[in-house]
Amino acid sequence: MSNLSDYFWQISEVMIAVAAAPLLTGWINKCRSWLQNKSAPSVFQPHRMLHKLFHKDSVVAENASPLFRMDPYIVFGCMTLACGIIPTLSTNLPLSPAADAIALVGLFALARVFISLAAVDIGTGFGTMGGRREMFIGFLAEPALLMVLFSSSLISKSTLLTSIVGNLVTQDLAVYPSLAFASVAFLMVLLAENARVPIDNPATHLELTMIHEALLLEYSGRSLALMEWAASIKLLAYFCMGFALFFPWGISSVNTPLALLLSLLILTVKLAIAGALLAVIEIASAKFRIFRVPEFLATAFLIAVIGMLVHFLLGA
Amino acid sequence: MTDLISMDYIVLIIAGWLAIGVCGVLALWRPAFATYVLYPAGAALGMLLSAIGLFSVFGVAQTGILPLGLPDLQFHIRLDSLSSYFLFVLGIVSTGVSLYSVGYFRKKEETPLGLMCLLYHVCIASMAMILIADDAYVFMVAWETMSLTATFLVTANHSDPEVRYAGFLYFLISHIGALALLLGFGLLQADTGNYTFANMREQHLDLLWGSITFFLAFFGFGAKAGILPLHIWLPEAHPAAPSPISALMSAFVLKTGVYGFIRITFDLLHAQIWWWGVVVLTVGLTTALFGVVLSATQTDMKRLLAYSSIENIGLMFTGIGLTIIFHAYDMNGMAALSLTATLYHVVSHAAFKSLLFLGTGAVLHATGERNLGKLGGLMRFMPWTAWAVLIGMLAAAGLPPLGGFVSEWLLLQSFLLTPGLPNSVLNMLIPIVAGVIVLVGAMAAYVMVKFFGVIFLGQPREQKLNHAHDVNIWERLGFGWLVVVCLMLGFFPVQMTLVIDRITTYLVEEGIGTAVAKNGPLLLAPVAADRASYMPLMFVTILLVCCLSAYVLVRRMYHGRIRRSIPWACGYPFQTSKMQDTAEGLGQPIRHIFGNFFHITRELPSAFDKKPRYRITVEDPFWSLLYRPIAVITEYISRAVGVLQHGRISIYLIYSFATLMLLLLVVTQ
């Protein structure tokens, strides 16, 4: 059923996503700066950062284990694979049966475990603290995310993301109250999992509050570049997952150049709007204390559960 | 063809293990013989057993009678797909543990090595006997043999009072459980006086007696498996035992409880009532959550793993509970799916947990430390152990592409199918249960990062760790075997579900094998390919391709310069190994949110202390809520009865005389 050209398109989609992911981060930063009345950096600033970092020497702590040096590649690989599973431009993905939504959550968990292990590896206070917090937020966010995915898969009777998208796109435009709840919960999980503002601040290096930055503290040069790049890809993957679950319209179901181009245009518009919205959320909220995070994510879980109950009660 | 002979082979393997044990005692003064000849022989038999078990899953059930036992009470044995499957698991575990033991039992434990060899082999032989038992008599004999030998194995280092105490606790709880089992078997034979399982299958108990039997079995097997609140022996016995024994106990002795419960529930009892399933599901889920929360706060590495075993047993019972619910509503396809998930978890837990326990054994031998607060940085000194434990730890954390993930995935898929249930309350509640399962799985990942991170990563917390030595060749072989099993279970789930299909077909009249086989050998799709699918081999291949191409590209396009330096740590130059997070530190978020789960006593320093001390003890709340009150009441009753005792024979004679008179009065009335 899937032939060679499908594989070609799938691989090029993944490569486009990977290459363009830092643009999304750049766009969000730009929006944030605009909202804060600062002069905004170019959207290519993250690319320039990566370029600079790749050219620098990699400084590795004396007591680093081989795991520490392998880690950036593993994490980067995980995120790249995630881009291959999540429908970005088309739903005709030959790689998509390899993992459904649950396996995708498992894939993110795998990346998280490796990041945390690397953070613990050097044995500095900040690194272990970061690793601990990352795993802590991870295990609180995962149930909420799964509940969101369950709501969607109950409607589409499938846990495959491509089937969920296909099902939503082909149906008449209907309002699913359960999906409305699920989308709110998903947004909260997205903020937590991608180290965005109410949970973590990507723009700060304040030691006692950081999570994502603490994990990368001992990395430098190309390893740091890979880790930062992987974080951008993860954000893009989460955005695309959100679109796939809640706003799939405009995604192409065939692999023809014209349809894909149109789909790319629509995705760019969606990402631009969503990125701007994320910047607004980040500007409008303040960072939580770490022990407020369980409440935040428990709320996300409850909203997702309510969404599911609504699905059972209304059948929609 | 193999069907006809596999039963004989299994009996021969059991006899072989017993013979090896006897040789061990005969060679009591030649420990090297026990170590280098007997254990490898036992491992070879174990490997044979796993192969035979795997093949005989596909055969038809065979029965036989052993020329043992009492004149009118023979040993009935039977080999069907369920027992074959568990024999397969036992074979896998015993091979790994026996190989490892060759390297481990060189230094002397307090029990002589020959005796250890006897106890160990009798223990695994009795477990195999439990699996092929076909009447209550031989089942209980084998069951008690297992409990006894396991107790002696746990108390191998018996000069330590803590070890003796742990052994006593295990012995006590397994006997309370055995009592419930005896009563349960008594009810199952329904006054026919015939204790064969074949007869029990014929009997149809009514609702009341059926329920009583069911809950007696749940209690009895639960005590062995370690469900709440009977889990209390596990965290004591596992740290006390030598590591290969902990591995054996966690990987298989607990599973005998799961086996027995499945055997009685689905094979011997006919009707299943849906609320039995709800009870088992609730208890299982509570056990799982409790186990994982407590394991996250432990500071002793083996105790941490013991609580993690409690968690996994909880997950298995959750799966069984779900199966009962589905089966009670005649939704056999879904019952088959959740039972498949449970049985998959049995084998993957057996593999990864024995691997992890053997890993702690290696650490213990190399450093003499069990306390997580005194370990750290061992990956540099013990690379073999560290990489093997890393694989086991990823499987235990339920991460793709390893075996632990497959069972979790299957279990979640069966939860997603619940909306078909005719009971609307269950329909709504059960998906939330799935949320709790995900929470448990994600916390297991936290626990495993803590376990691996504190032991193998970071800086050594003590000077002596710098001289830790890695494992020898036999221990590596044991690790290697279990690592291969873990990887295979992760990569070939389709083949494994086809094996399990035979058991579910036997127990719940349906299997997911036909649905799975339709999609070829690589794609695991338990219901239909467009509903849910998972291809671990493709998953791992793409992942490796992504990682490697990233590596090659980065290396090609940029320089490969690397500089070694001291850790940066935000520019703070005075880092010491004491500044890393300790095991307590890693448990802190958990203690903070799940405070109600523990009994915490905390001693905080005041601002004026010259030598500030921070001490925290986290205790299992069941001690103070349940066991201490029981102990107090027992003590009180025995003291009350003790009033009668004076230690003078004349008074005892008066007691007997008075009793006699009283009885005579009663009789003559």
Q: Which of B118, B122, B11 is nearest to B67 (CA)?
A: B11
Pairing of strands B562-565, B599-603: unpaired
Pairing of strands B562-565, A58-61: parallel
Interval B307-319 mean pLDDT:
94
Work out how many CB contacts closer than 8 A connect A with B: 255
Token pair recorded at residue A119: 């953070």
* Per-residue pLDDT tens over the stretch B5-58: 678 888 999 999 999 999 888 887 777 777 888 889 999 999 999 999 998 888
Candidates B445, B543, B558; nearest CB to A78: B543
- The tokens describing B204, both together, are 């149809």
Has residue B106 got a pLDDT over 80?
no
Structural domain includes residue B502: yes
- Based on the fold, state whether residues B407 and B536 are members of the same structural domain: yes
pLDDT at residue B4 above 70? no
Residues of A in contact with B449 (CB under 8 A): 113, 116-117, 120, 131, 135
In angstroms, the separation between the Cα of residue A33 and the nearest Cα of chain B is 27
**Number of Cα atoms under 13 Å in the Cβ half of residue B256:** 34
pLDDT by residue (tens digit) across A169-223? 777 666 788 888 999 999 999 999 988 888 887 777 666 667 888 888 889 889 9
pLDDT at residue B609, rounded to an integer: 82
Amino acid B444: pLDDT: 94
Number of domains in chain B: 3
Does ipTM exceed 0.85? yes
On whether both B535 and B607 belong to a single domain, the answer is no
Residue B108, pLDDT above cutoff 70:
no
Mean pLDDT, rounded, of chain B: 88
Q: What is the pLDDT of residue A173?
A: 66
What mean pLDDT comes out for the span B492-515?
A: 86
Considering the domain boundaries, does residue B437 fall inside one? yes
Same domain membership, residue B602 and residue B516 = no
Domain co-membership, B431 together with B313: yes
Q: What angle do CA A291, A296, A298 make, to 5 degrees?
A: 100
Which residue of A110, A155, A189 to mutate against B (max B Cβ within 10 Å)? A110
Among residues B224, B361, B227, B232, the alpha carbon closest in space to that of B302 is found at B361
Q: Same structural domain for residues B658 and B584?
A: no
Averaged over B163-179, what is the pLDDT?
92
pLDDT at B262: 93
Whether residue B470 lies inside any domain: the answer is yes
Q: Are residues B515 and B392 in the same domain?
A: yes
Which domain, by its residues, includes B520?
272-556
Alpha-carbon span B77 to B135, nearest angstrom: 7
CB A80 within 8 A of CB A98: no
* pLDDT level of residue B139 (50, 70, 90 thresholds): very high
Contact A117 B457 (CB under 8 A): yes
Q: What is the pLDDT of residue B7?
A: 84
Average of pLDDT values for B593-610?
A: 82
In a shared domain, residues B494 and B586: no
> Between the ranges A79-93, B105-119, B209-223, where is the mean pLDDT highest?
B209-223
Q: Is the model's pLDDT at B343 over the cut of 60?
A: yes
- Structure pTM? 0.93
Q: What is the mean pLDDT of residues B61-77?
A: 82
pLDDT score recorded for residue B204: 83
Q: So what's the pLDDT on residue A254?
A: 80
My answer on whether B528 and B662 are in the same domain is: no
Cβ neighbours of A91 in B, within 8 Å: none
Q: Is residue B406 part of a domain?
A: yes
Min distance B451 CA to chain A CA atoms (Å): 10
Measured distance CA(A153)–CA(A155) in Å, rounded? 5
Q: How large is the average pLDDT for residues B220-239? A: 90
Cβ–Cβ gap B561/A58 under 8 Å: yes
Residues B652 and B585 in one domain: no
The predicted pLDDT at position B19 comes to 92
**pLDDT band at residue B107 using 50, 70 and 90 as cut-offs:** low
Per the CB < 8 Å rule, is B400 touching A62?
A: no
Residues of chain A contacting residue B412, judged by C-beta atoms under 8 Å apart: 102, 146
Is B590 found in the same domain as B480? no
Q: Report yes or no on B423 lying in a domain.
A: yes
B573 pLDDT band, cuts 50/70/90, is confident
Q: What is the pLDDT of residue B3?
A: 46
A226-277 per-position pLDDT tens digit: 999 999 999 999 999 999 888 888 888 787 888 889 999 999 999 999 999 9
B548 and B615 fall within a common domain: no
For residue range B237-254, what is the model confidence (pLDDT) as tens digits?
Answer: 998 899 999 999 999 999
Note whether B585 contacts A132, CB cutoff 8 Å.
yes
Scored b (16 or more CB within 10 A) or e, B197-225 reads bebbeebebeeeebbebbbbbbbbbbbbb
- Average pLDDT value for residue range B470-475: 86
- pLDDT for B193 equals 82
Q: Is B342 in the same domain as B428?
A: yes
Residue B530 has pLDDT above 80, yes or no: no
Distance from CA of B190 to the nearest CA of A (A): 43
Is B134 part of a structural domain of the chain?
A: no
Mean pLDDT of the B468-495 span: 90
Q: Residue A2's pLDDT band (boundaries 50, 70, 90)? A: low
Mean of the pLDDT values across residues A146-156? 86
